[in-house]
Amino acid sequence: MSLPDALLTLYPVLGGVPDAAIVLDGIAPVELPAGYMLFTEGQPCQGFPLVLSGAIRVYKQAENGREMPLYRVLSGESCIVTSSCLVSGVTYNARGITEGPTQVLVLPAHAFADWLAYPAFRDYVLALFADRIGDLMQRVEEIAFHRLDARLAAALLGHGRFVHATHAQLANELGSVREMVSRLLKSFEVQGLVALSRERVEILDPAGLRRICEGR
């Protein structure tokens, strides 16, 4: 019995787990719709999701509804919040929601614990912690030390001519509030950098936005 090539391509670490094929043989991938809440605060962790396609957005939510994005889990990646819950035995302290149709293969919690005995898988989990902590530290630095207008300009670039998002979604992405983002977008529009319409931002002057990113 062997693992599918497609799965090994996404998660080559499984090649270093002797019983991976046996454990995963009886587990069927789960098809999740967009907007499916995979986990939330206080919920016990039932398993370790391997994302085969789609994406999971992991975030914190305050009592007033404001969201703070932490990271995204794409195909071939793994979730550090889930890893932490499985290692420490605590419940989730964040939320994970699918951003579009997403397919996951959920490794049972007991198998995750058993696989930590294998050096390849243990090193993979430790590397996951290191990578995500680095990402989170970079995000903290951006929020604490970079101007919001520069971060908003950067968030608008790289998506083509149109950015399809509400002001609230952009604010959540930046760890800010909708009112501040709306004021900045209106300022960008007055400067001729963007054109605003319902749930859409049209990029008119990408060079001007890049200058804002660079603090000029």
Residue 104 is predicted with a pLDDT of: 95
pLDDT above 70 (res 54): yes
Neighbours of 51 (CB within 10 A): 22
pLDDT (tens digit per residue) in 107-132: 999 999 999 999 999 999 999 888 88
Where residue 68 falls among pLDDT bands split at 50, 70, 90? confident
Q: In this model, does residue 146 exceed pLDDT 80?
A: no
- Mean local confidence (pLDDT), 75-87: 92
Determine if the pTM surpasses 0.85. Answer: no
pLDDT over 90 (residue 105):
yes
| One-letter identity of residue 154 | A
pLDDT for 142 equals: 64
At 26, is the pLDDT very low, low, confident or very high (cuts 50, 70, 90)? confident
Beta-carbon count within 10 A of 175 CB? 20
Side-chain-facing half-sphere of 212: CA atoms under 13 Å: 23
d(CA 190, CA 208): 13
Task: Categorize the per-residue pLDDT at 1 as very low, low, confident or very high, splitting at 50, 70 and 90.
Answer: low
Q: Band of the pLDDT at 134, cuts 50, 70, 90?
A: confident
Across the range 33-51, mean pLDDT stands at 94
Averaged pLDDT for residues 17-24: 90
Place of tokens 């995000």: 139
- The label of the residue with tokens 């997403």 reads 102
- By CB atoms closer than 10 A (0-12, 13-18, 19+), residue 146 is middle
* pLDDT score for 145: 53
Arithmetic mean of pLDDT over the chain: 88
